[in-house]
A and B are shown apart, each in its own frame.
Chain A
């Protein structure tokens, strides 16, 4: 169990998920987050937004943070705190997130010129989640903390 899990407060409910750094395993995190969000009462469109954000965050961790190193893990913490769901995705930090990527807004015209058409993940996460924070985890890896609020 991670240090964060041990620090969970009595009023919080936390799920920890550890995944290999192989593309495709983001689906496990997406489905776990969706299952938890549905159980909390989130509407379908919000659950879809959450799944997209989780997918992007875990894919980033696999591709960029862990550089596809299959032996490295991606740790996903899902914390239920009152009416909000907090999702934390942490890699083991082969490569840190470029600060410029966090604040930039990608342009379709630029993306279309590139072969991979990528570079939308961080922007998508920021658009879809209510709160987003990019930090360095105590372990040294990249950490993205996303919060989605339940609107009643």
Chain B
């Protein structure tokens, strides 16, 4: 399908709101992955994107929204023909900035730290750009950006 037919004024976006319940990140991950596939992302990038979006949503559910089911997690995914952006926002009962830097994998395997807590490192590694910032409304926003994605040939 022609790229132009997938966009309005050179841009396109989808928005999603999910409750703060673990497991719902799978629905968000799937929706964003379908969107990325639809606009022509290659499968390897989609796999990176799925992992990073899952981690961002889990952080929002667990840390930002403190597992309170009624608090929403907002996911906005947009593409401008050059840059694919995913923003995940919580309503911020706890700033994500307070999450400490993860231990190394070696330290975790040695039992010096929890086996969890790799989300931020993963997101930073998998996205071309990764940023955590306060939302305009109370809360945190994680922004994941992939530049110059390879577009599948029709």
The answer to whether B38 and A25 touch across the interface, beta carbons within 8 angstroms, is yes
The answer to whether A25 and B70 touch across the interface, beta carbons within 8 angstroms, is no
Say whether A32 faces chain B, with CB atoms less than 8 Å apart.
Answer: yes
The answer to whether A25 and B16 touch across the interface, beta carbons within 8 angstroms, is no
Q: A17 and B8 in contact (CB under 8 A), knowing A27-B38, A28-B34?
A: no
Interchain CA distance A109-B8 in the complex, whole Å = 38
Within 8 A of A (CB), among B1-32: 1, 5-9, 12-19, 21, 23-24, 26-27, 30-31
The answer to whether B19 and A10 touch across the interface, beta carbons within 8 angstroms, is no
Within 8 A of B (CB), among A70-114: 70-71
Interchain CA distance A31-B36 in the complex, whole Å = 13
Interface of A is mostly: mixed
Q: How far is the CB of B57 from chain A (nearest CB, A)?
A: 12
The answer to whether A1 and B31 touch across the interface, beta carbons within 8 angstroms, is no
Residue of B nearest to A1 (CB): B17
Q: Name B1's contact: one of A1, A14, A16, A24 (CB within 8 Å).
A: A24
Say whether B41 faces chain A, with CB atoms less than 8 Å apart.
Answer: no
Q: Name A15's contact: one of B1, B7, B14, B18 (CB within 8 Å).
A: B18
Question: Which residues of B are found within 8 Å of A17, using beta-carbon distances?
Answer: 14-17, 31
The answer to whether B12 and A22 touch across the interface, beta carbons within 8 angstroms, is yes
In the A-B complex, list the 3 residue pairs whose CB atoms are closest, starting with the nearest: A70-B8, A18-B15, A16-B17
The answer to whether B72 and A24 touch across the interface, beta carbons within 8 angstroms, is no
The answer to whether B14 and A25 touch across the interface, beta carbons within 8 angstroms, is yes
Count of inter-chain pairs, beta carbons less than 8 A: 73
Within 8 A of A (CB), among B50-72: 69-70, 72
Interface of B is mostly: mixed
Within 8 A of B (CB), among A7-30: 8, 10, 13-20, 22, 24-25, 27-28
The answer to whether B34 and A71 touch across the interface, beta carbons within 8 angstroms, is no
The answer to whether A35 and B16 touch across the interface, beta carbons within 8 angstroms, is no
Say whether B146 faces chain A, with CB atoms less than 8 Å apart.
Answer: no
Say whether A132 faces chain B, with CB atoms less than 8 Å apart.
Answer: no
Question: Which residues of B are found within 8 Å of A39, using beta-carbon distances?
Answer: 23, 26-27
The answer to whether A36 and B69 touch across the interface, beta carbons within 8 angstroms, is no
A-B contact pairs, 12 of them (CB 8 A): A1-B74, A10-B70, A14-B17, A15-B16, A15-B19, A17-B15, A22-B5, A22-B6, A22-B7, A25-B35, A28-B38, A70-B9
The answer to whether A22 and B16 touch across the interface, beta carbons within 8 angstroms, is no
Question: Which residues of B are found within 8 Å of A27, using beta-carbon distances?
Answer: 34, 38
Q: A19 and B14 in contact (CB under 8 A), knowing A27-B38, A70-B8, A71-B8?
A: yes
Q: A32 and B5 in contact (CB under 8 A), knowing A5-B72, A13-B21, A15-B27?
A: no
Q: Name B17's contact: one of A10, A15, A25, A70 (CB within 8 Å).
A: A15
Interchain CA distance A13-B26 in the complex, whole Å = 14
